[in-house]
Amino acid sequence: MALMTSRFSDGLAVGSDLVEAAQNAVGRALSRLSGQADLVCFFICGDDPEDVAKAGQAAMRIAPEAHVIGCSATGVIGDGQGVELTPAVSAWAATLDGARLTTFALETLAAEDRFVVVGLPERGGDDHVAILLADPYSFPTDAFVERSVDVLGDLPLIGGLANGLQGRGSVRLFADGEIYTEGAIGVLISGPIKISTVVSQGCRPIGPSMVVTAAEQNLLLELAGQPALARLEDIVSELDEDDRELVASGLQIGLAMDEYAERHERGDFLIRGVIGIDPEREAVAIGDIVEVGRTVRFQVRDAATADEDLYDLLDAHREELGKVEGALLFSCNGRGSAMFGTADHDPIALRDTLGPIGIAGFFAAGEVGPVAGHNHVHGFTASVLVFSSAAGAH
């Protein structure tokens, strides 16, 4: 549990009475704070969307003086553990001395031949980050996040795609007393506060880095002057049996984020999935559009690699930042017990590396976070928002 004197604290309650669970989880988080809560975040896993909505209303009423955001999910994280596919509520509370908070709700409107997102907060010169919680069924999160620089500049976005146990139509979003059944909500954090982000994609490279020499939309036609499929087959043929199994279970590809780096190693790539091959064209299809001249490197992912990646990133982050006081964790619903055999892996990793701090979050249907200064939507990722004690810019 969080320290009694902390400016950041968390709470978790498991039980089919979601209103009671929400009251208990938020109440515990608030009771462990050293001061008055400025921001409260909560996450609800429940069978019935209407019960989830009632629980969200109850959660928002408990902290009327604070800014409050939350969402439904298929699993929640709090009190050092994860709870998947079971009725539960997690909560996180923070005393953010001097920080400014602006909650927002986004919706998509049709305008001629395109969609327009409305509801964005106005930017200020001392903005640090925006937490974004979105309904994946009604909000164009990928397009919005990828183009966020056009309207938000270099503002980091971090968060996740909400969900519900009944899928489409069961998502509920909450912001400052309001309940939303579509769109996206969030909070912009500004002012004298030190915040940073960690995005663990959990992959390791196989084979060499290669320049894309021919491509068409999301089809890689040539890598380093040779047919892309032939290059991939050459790489796989040199792997050991264990890595070949990883390739068969889900091959990834990394897009280099800094084309001018002398070497491209783990952590230097934006990870995307390999979604198929075209034998006739000797092409490889991936989950993104890649331009000719981009450097790419095939990748694999397994529990051991994902574990090592998260611990290494958090260790480096802690050394850079000094004293960490709180964190929000947005972990893919494909991690947890599906990847590690336990729902507790990611929250335990944060406690192991960052200390006994207030940590809460949820298992997301996609995670939002910056890589190399650009915002992206990810899969199988742990995106973490870290709060440190020293004031100043992140």
Could you tell me if residue 1 is inside a domain? no
Task: Report the candidate in 193, 179, 241, 237 with the shortest Cα–Cα distance to residue 97.
Answer: 193
Pair 181, 317 in one domain: yes
Could you tell me if residue 271 is inside a domain? yes
Q: Identify the residue whose tokens are 């599906």.
A: 338
Last residue of one domain, picked from the residues 237, 270, 301: 301
Could you tell me if residue 295 is inside a domain? yes
Pair 216, 342 in one domain: no
CB of 107 within 8 A of CB of 183?
Answer: yes
pTM of the model: 0.92
Task: Taking the CA atoms of 204, 374, 274 and 75 in sequence, report the sign of the dihedral they define.
Answer: positive
Q: What is the DSSP string of 209-262?
A: -EEEEEEETTEEEEETTEEHHHHHHHHHHTS-HHHHHHHHHH-EEEEES-TT-S
Last residue of one domain, picked from the residues 277, 301, 325: 301
The CA distances from residue 78 to 12, 94, 192, 252, 346, in Å, are 5, 14, 26, 30, 11
What are the φ/ψ torsions at residue 308 (nearest 5 degrees)? -60, -45
Pair 126, 181 in one domain: yes
Pair 121, 194 in one domain: yes
Could you tell me if residue 394 is inside a domain? no
Indicate the DSSP class of residue 301. Answer: -
Token digits of residue 380 = 């199988």
The CA distances from residue 174 to 61, 135, 179, 368, in Å, are 12, 11, 5, 18
Per-residue pLDDT of the chain (394 residues; tens, 9 = 90+): 444 558 999 999 999 999 999 999 999 999 999 999 999 999 999 999 999 999 999 999 999 899 999 999 999 999 999 999 999 999 999 999 889 999 999 999 987 778 889 999 999 999 999 999 999 999 999 999 999 999 899 999 999 999 999 999 999 999 999 999 999 999 999 999 999 999 999 999 999 999 999 999 999 999 999 999 999 999 999 999 999 999 998 899 999 987 666 565 556 789 999 999 999 999 999 999 999 999 999 999 999 999 999 999 999 888 887 789 999 999 999 999 999 999 999 999 999 999 999 999 999 999 999 998 899 999 999 999 999 985 443 3
Pair 17, 127 in one domain: yes
CB of 51 within 8 A of CB of 45?
Answer: no
Pair 74, 165 in one domain: yes
Could you tell me if residue 367 is inside a domain? yes
CB of 360 within 8 A of CB of 171?
Answer: no
Amino acid at 310: L
Pair 177, 94 in one domain: yes
Q: What is the DSSP string of 113-162?
A: TEEEEE-PPPP-TTEEEEEEEE-TTTS-HHHHHHTHHHHHTT--EEEEE-
Radius of gyration of the chain (CA): 21
Looking at the 3D structure of the chain, how many domains does it have? 2
Pair 225, 296 in one domain: yes
Last residue of one domain, picked from the residues 240, 273, 301: 301
CB of 56 within 8 A of CB of 76?
Answer: no
Pair 77, 118 in one domain: yes
Cβ contacts of residue 338 below 8 Å, gap of 6+? none
Task: Report the candidate in 56, 182, 179 with the shortest Cα–Cα distance to residue 117.
Answer: 182
CB of 322 within 8 A of CB of 388?
Answer: yes
Pair 239, 374 in one domain: no
CA distance 13 to 43: 11
What is the pLDDT at residue 392?
40
Structural domain boundaries, residue 343: 8-200+305-388
